[in-house]
Amino acid sequence: MKFQRTTLILLFFALGLAGSVYVYETQVAPQKGANLEKERQIFSFKEEAIASFTIKKDKQTLKFQRLAIDRSRWQMTEPINTSASDPSVAFLLNLLVNIKSNDIIAVLPDRLHEYGLDRPLSTIEIQLKDRQNHQVVLGKTNFDGNLLYALVDPPINASEKIEIFLIPLDLQNAIDRPLSEWQAEKNKSSQIKLTPASP
């Protein structure tokens, strides 16, 4: 039985395509799935567990504390004492508790300057109701500008390698806002004087 040349070419092409699909399904796809599974939740606490937080950036410090009367509301205590903007605070806290990273780099402390972490752009300090403290230090953006280098709960005196996380740029965008956007509307803040909860 003779096959035409075109039929043989199509047969070899089909076999090659089937082989490629087989290799992809058995080798490449499982590795991609494994990488997605490696995506690591940075913090394990819930938003309700946060008692206070501080943002340090550009020689400015902003401090916020959860209110004792209404645990869903926040008070800015520094640089001014006023009611905080619920949407601005909620956006930041939602990002903090849900932040994930699947890229982690281990570097020696003397290389932190390469990632902008020796002189960070911003630092977020979080205190939980149970008095646990957490910190996120934000450095430079990565080479394509869509992720940030960050230290999470960095050691005080590190001599060994430190983990640097690549996290979404949204976190920097959430804190890079003018002071006025952190304050509640003036008519709301003038109506009621709220007392911050004691930590």
Q: How far, rounded to the nearest angstrom, does the alpha carbon of residue 20 sit from its chain's CA centroid?
A: 37
- Tokens linked to 189: 């803040």
pLDDT single digits (tens) 48-83: 899 999 999 888 899 999 987 777 789 999 989 989
Angle at 79 between CA 83 and CA 188, to 5 degrees: 15
Cα dist from 128 to 99, 110, 133, whole Å: 17, 31, 6
Question: What region, left, alpha or beta, does residue 116 occupy, with left being phi > 0 and alpha being psi -120 to 50 degrees?
Answer: left
- Tokens linked to 179: 């002071």
DSSP state, residue 89: H
pLDDT single digits (tens) 10-51: 777 777 777 666 666 776 555 554 444 456 788 888 988 999
Q: In whole angstroms, what is the distance from residue 163 CA to residue 166 CA? A: 10
Mean pLDDT is highest, among 11-25, 128-142, 183-197, for 128-142
| Rounded average pLDDT over 82-87 | 89
Nearest to 198 by CA among 51, 86, 61: 51
Angle at 9 between CA 6 and CA 13, to 5 degrees: 140
Q: In whole angstroms, what is the distance from residue 190 CA to residue 199 CA? A: 25
DSSP state, residue 54: E
Which pTM value belongs to this model?
0.70
DSSP run (H or E) holding 16: helix 5-23
Selected residue with higher pLDDT from 128 and 160: 128
Place 7 in a pLDDT band, splitting at 50, 70 and 90: confident
Half-sphere exposure of residue 150: CA atoms within 13 angstroms, side-chain side: 26
Domain boundaries defined on the chain: 5-38, 41-191
Q: In whole angstroms, what is the distance from residue 124 CA to residue 126 CA? A: 7
DSSP state, residue 160: S
